[in-house]
Chains A and B, each alone.
Chain A
Amino acid sequence: MTGVTVRFGSLTALENVDFEARPGHIHALVGENGAGKTTLMRVLFGSQRADSGEVTVDGAHVKSRRAAIGMVSQHYSVIPQLKNLQNLMVGAEPGAVLDRKRDRARAEGIARAMGFSFDWDAPSSSLSPAGAQKLEILKLLWRESQVMILDEPTAMLSPADSEELYTSLKRLAEEGRTAIVVTHRIREVLDHCERVTVLRGGKRVATLPVAETDEANLARLIIGHDLRERGSATAEPGPPILMIERLTVLGDRGHRAVDDASLVVRKGEVVGIAGVDGSGQRELFQALIGTRSATGSVRFGGIDWLNLTTAKRLASGLRLVPEDRHAEAVIEDWSLFENAALGLHRDPPFAHGHWIDTQGRARQAGVIADAFKTRYGSLAQPMKSLSGGNQQRFVAGRGLTTQPKLIAAFQPTRGLDIDGSAKIYQAIRHECRQGAVALVVGFDLDELLVECDRVVAMCQGRIFEAPGGLERDRDAIGRLMVGVG
């Protein structure tokens, strides 16, 4: 791939990126969230159009790449209602009429060559994450793919299963195929891959043989060097007010998404939570909100937080900038008036007893919209008529102008320009100086280091704090994020 550029509107996802992988190798592609890894692989696979650039496989320009290139995305495409054999073939059936005997024999052959064994007639819903991952790899072999792209293949696997996965990838590479692995885990790159490409901010930073690099070097390449100027001085922290102790939260797949995590936040602090996506930040927030059950203990201002309903937590001063704006933060068909009230709709100024206080609501909606300069025509217009960035301004305004005590903000500046981002962090710090506390999840370590009083790292469901003196050391926190002590 040479000179690949992809733009999404005004955002440049990839800028003039060169990438080459050789047969017989496991090639790692690493970088922070939003660095463009997945986009680059989609261009290679052919599911994303590049604005410019060329892709060649085996020296030939390929139009129907799908024959030669297979991709396993982060979210498995195994259909649970089908049997394993059906899942293996789906989309690449050998003919209009299926010959069960012949297909089974071929499936067996492919699986045995890889050292896997499958019950082909079992429903795929019974597969473990590791089993589903294996089936995905066999799907690529069934299609006779020469280049295999695996996006975060070990994200859902245990360490032992990960080892096994790399063993099979090595075997495939030895047969002359090419495996490209997108990963966050530096350890895996160093242990299993031959070459590594680092992307940062949509640009290629480096491509080098793994033998010529080490952990520290890779972490530095991934995170970059340019540290921005900090907006304001560190707060004088007060007494501990939010105490998270041994919190464990099960994720959707029943795994320990938050695993025995502990964190103490002092009054007035803005704490940034760094970490690669999917390290348990989502589930941690859901547990704090009360939409996912958790074990362990959370105390806020002396209250047993986990025993409160979500409504009580909101009444106690919990204010959110949720992660998924469309699904969690707004009701798109509703007006800005009504969205202003969402979550705080039971209490003044939004309600008066059982009745909605339309005047109070209108006043507060105006305050919310103006806080971060939401651009709107009328407060009566539906939320969906606003652009994503303006919706984000409105949601942040709702959380930060309504007497917050505990601010839980998930990527609060997503989709905003530098100025808008700075204003939101200013408001968070302002509220915290008045006695609130804030937890801010971000995927941009630089931003967190600049804007927060303290940054902790989340990795595989645990919260890690850098040792004394290194609380704001980017290299130290960067290593914690990828699980390298």
Chain B
Amino acid sequence: MKGLGWKEAALVIGAAALVWLMLTSIGVVPSEAIAGLVRGSVGGPAAWRQTLREMTPLLIAGLAVAVALRAGLFNIGADGQLLVGAAAAAVVALAVPGPVGVVLACAAAAAAGGLWAFPAGWIKVARGGHEVISTIMLNNIAVFLTLWLVRGPIKDPSVQTWTTPSLPTGTGIPSLVEAGVFRLNWALPLAILAAVAFGVWLQRTVGGFELRAVGANLTAAKVAGVDVDRIRIRAMVASGALAGLAGAVLVLAFEKRFYSNFSPGYGFDALGVALLAGNSAWGLLPSAFLFAALSAGTTSVQILGVPKGLSTVLLGLIIIVFAVLRYREACRDG
């Protein structure tokens, strides 16, 4: 990184001042809050467990958004695709227990997510409808569809709350490390592997070359003989399938069931993850980690008396600062 210009410096100082002001205004000592943030995200095995847990769906959903983004498509619908994926995974895993059920549940989640994204890709290609609009619409449909399912057809009749029954033990993604309070299962290493594989695919294969060409310059891609319509639909479906998988991982690795208001907005945070990662698939790893650490950290800061809304503001400010620093170079070039 080059030295900071005065504008960037002013932004960082301004953001810090804003945070300081907000914290003191509600009677929290800023230094304590910052220390709490760090402690809650990377200060000890329990904090690490929480951060890596958050990182798992964020990385997979971030990868989902990145796949579409590289083809020039903005998939705002990751949250909806994640929801239908999670619901599908819960239904299948409840019907077919054991490792086979886990595999089938992942397949079902990918299929559901892909299916949920397909209309957006098709509308874009066939009618020129903007994918941002169609995916937002599909988000709403997904929210209410899954809500209806969990209130009726797939509800656990034995409890009052809107939830499916819990998965039987042995039906889930197995643990990789269990040391004291620290837990890590196979989902995160697999997700990291997927992000790395995507990076290699983008740079080293003909398919990746064509996907990037479509995203970088549609007309030039057409002139170069790339079937841009097919690639855009495929990218959208692949993006949806990955978001669906993120939902499956949440069900199979962590929550062990599906319930109402299942996603706290992973699909939207995933947009931030993918954008902050910029043009690099590798960038998804630090980007997802940052989002996860802040999310875990702000949860613990709430214990100090910082209200949830304010911790979200804090998260937003930090991301804005990172984003400005991240895109500084790109703006200077352009």
User: How many Å lie between the Cα of A314 and that of B224 in the bound state?
Assistant: 8
- Determine whether the beta carbon of A331 is less than 8 Å from that of B216: yes
A329, A332, A338: the one contacting B209 at CB < 8 Å is: A338
CB contacts (< 8 Å) of B332 on chain A: these are none
A328 pairs with B220, CB closer than 8 A: yes
- A22 interface residue (CB < 8 Å to B): no
Contact yes or no, A331 B213, CB < 8 A: yes
Interface of B toward A, CB cutoff 8 Å = 203-207, 209-210, 213, 216-217, 219-220, 222-227
A320 surroundings in chain B (CB, below 8 A) = 223
Q: How far is the CB of B49 from chain A (nearest CB, A)?
A: 39
Our pick among B203, B206, B225 for the contact of A314 (Cβ within 8 Å) is: B225
Complex: A474 Cα to B46 Cα, angstroms: 85
**Cβ contact within 8 Å between B207 and A342:** no
CB–CB A327/B219 < 8 A: yes
Known A354-B205, A355-B204, A355-B206: A309·B220 in contact at CB below 8 Å: no
With contacts A289-B223, A291-B222 taken as known, whether A327 is within 8 angstroms of B210 at the C-beta atoms is no
Asked if B223 and A354 sit within 8 Å, CB to CB, the answer is no
**Contact present for A313 and B217 (CB under 8 Å):** no
Query: In the complex, A325 Cα to B225 Cα: how many Å?
Result: 16
Complex CA gap A217/B226 in Å reads: 49
**A: contact size bracket:** 20 to 34
Identify 16 new A-B residue pairs, CB closer than 8 A, beyond the known A327-B219, A338-B209, A356-B203: A291-B222, A309-B227, A310-B224, A314-B225, A324-B219, A329-B220, A330-B220, A331-B220, A333-B216, A342-B213, A343-B224, A343-B225, A345-B206, A351-B206, A355-B204, A356-B206
A309 near B206: Cβ-Cβ < 8 Å = no
Q: Are A310 and B222 neighbours in the complex by a CB distance under 8 Å?
A: yes
Check A334 for interface membership: any CB of B closer than 8 A: yes
Residues of B within 8 A of A328 (CB): 219-220, 223
With A351-B206, A354-B205, A355-B204: A342-B224 Cβ-Cβ less than 8 Å:
yes
Q: Do B210 and A345 touch across chains, with their CB atoms under 8 A apart? A: yes
Report the bound CA distance from A315 to B227 in whole Å: 14
| B204: A residues at CB distance < 8 A | 355-356, 358
A327 and B207 within 8 A (CB): no
Instruction: Please give me the residue from chain A that is nearest to B224 by CB atom.
Output: A343
Q: Which residues of B contact A135 (CB under 8 A)?
A: none
Chain B residues in 8 Å Cβ range of A355: 204-206
Task: Report the Cα distance A79→B256, complex, angstroms.
Answer: 56
By the criterion CB–CB under 8 Å, are B206 and A354 in contact? yes
- Whether A211 sits at the interface, judged by CB under 8 Å, is no
Q: Does chain B have a CB within 8 A of A346?
A: yes
Question: Is the pair A356, B213 in contact by a Cβ cutoff of 8 Å?
Answer: no
B268 to chain A minimum Cβ distance, whole angstroms, is 27
Residues on the A chain within 8 Å of B216, using CB: 331, 333-334
CB contacts (< 8 Å) of A327 on chain B: these are 217, 219-220
Q: Is A322 an interface residue (CB 8 A)?
A: yes
Within 8 A of B (CB), among A123-181: none
For A385, give the chain B residue with the smallest CB separation: B333
Q: Which partner residue on chain B sits nearest A330 by CB separation? A: B220
A443 to chain B, nearest CB (A): 21
Report B-chain residues with C-beta under 8 Å of the C-beta of A273. none
Is A309 within 8 A of B225, CB to CB?
yes
The answer, among B207, B223, B225, B226, for a CB contact under 8 Å with A329, is B223
Kindly provide the distance from the CB of B200 to the nearest chain A CB, expressed in whole angstroms. Answer: 10
Distance in Å from the Cβ of B122 to the closest Cβ of chain A? Answer: 20
